[in-house]
Structure 1
Amino acid sequence: MTTAEQTWTESTTEVAGLTVRYLQGGSGPAAVVLHHSSGNIGWAPFYEALSQKFTVIVPDLPGYGQSERPVWARDARDIAILVNRFLAQVAPEETTLIGLGFGGFIAAELATMDQERLSSLVLVGAAGVQPEEGELLDQMLIDYPEYISAGFRDEAHYHEIFGEEITKEVRELWEFSREMTARLSWKPYMFNRRLPHLLSEVETSTLVISGSEEKVIPITCARQYTAGLPNATLKIIEGAGHYVAYEEPEELASLIAGHAGI
Structure 2
Amino acid sequence: MQSSYTAAHAKERLGGEANLPDTVSYAERELALATGRIKYLEQGSGAPVVVLHHSWGSPGWLPFHERLAESHRVIAPDLPGWGGSERPAWAREPRDIAILVGRLLDGVDLDEVKLVGLGFGGYIAAELATMNPSRLHSLTLIGAAGLKPDQGEITDQMMLSHRAYIEESFRDHDTYVRFLGDEEPPEEVRQLWDFSREMTARVTWKPYMFNRRLAPLLPDIKVPTLLIWGEQDAIVPLVCARQFEAGIPDAKLELVAGAGHVVEIEEPERTADLIAGFPG
- Shorter-chain TM range is over 0.9
Q: Which residue of 1 aligns with 2:3?
A: none
Match among 203, 214, 219 for residue 195 of structure 1: 214
Q: Give, in angstroms, the shift of residue 142 of structure 1.
A: 1.0
Q: Give, in angstroms, the shift of residue 15 of structure 1.
A: 2.2
Q: Give, as a single letter, the amino acid of the residue that structure 1 aligns with 2:268.
A: P
1:133-187 Cα offsets, whole Å, 9 max, x none, are 1111000111111000000000110110111122221111111100000000011
> Structure 2-normalised TM-score?
0.91
Q: Which residue of 2 aligns with 1:185?
A: 204
Q: Secondary structure of 1:203's match?
A: coil
Q: Secondary structure of 1:120's match?
A: strand
Q: Secondary structure of 1:86's match?
A: helix
Which has the larger displacement, 124-133 or 8-17? 8-17
Percent identity between the aligned chains? Answer: 53
Match among 114, 119, 126 for residue 108 of structure 1: 126
> Structure 1-normalised TM-score?
0.98
Q: Give, as a single letter, the amino acid of the residue that structure 2 aligns with 1:247.
A: E
What do you get for the CA RMSD once the two structures are aligned? 0.9
Structure 1 consecutive aligned stretches of length 4 or more whose deviation exceeds 2 Å: none
Q: Which residue of 2 aligns with 1:172?
A: 191
Q: Secondary structure of 2:157's match?
A: coil
Aligned residue pairs, count: 261
Unaligned runs of 5+ in 2: 1-9, 12-19
1:56 to 1:91, Cα distance in 2 relative to 1, 3 A: farther
Q: Give, as a single letter, the amino acid of the residue that structure 2 aligns with 1:175.
A: D
Q: Does 1:28 align with 2:46?
A: yes
Q: Give, in angstroms, the shift of residue 91 of structure 1.
A: 4.2
Match among 94, 116, 124 for residue 98 of structure 1: 116
Q: Which residue of 2 aligns with 1:250?
A: 269
Q: Which residue of 2 aligns with 1:154?
A: 172
Contact 1:41 1:170 in 2 (8 A): no
Distance in 1 between the 2:123 and 2:268 partners? 20
Unaligned runs of 5+ in 1: none
Q: Give, in angstroms, the shift of residue 231 of structure 1.
A: 2.3
Matches within 5 A, 1:1-262: 1-2=10-11, 3=20, 4-165=22-183, 166-261=185-280
Q: Give, as a single letter, the amino acid of the residue that structure 1 aligns with 2:59.
A: I
Distance in 2 between the 1:209 and 1:41 partners? 20
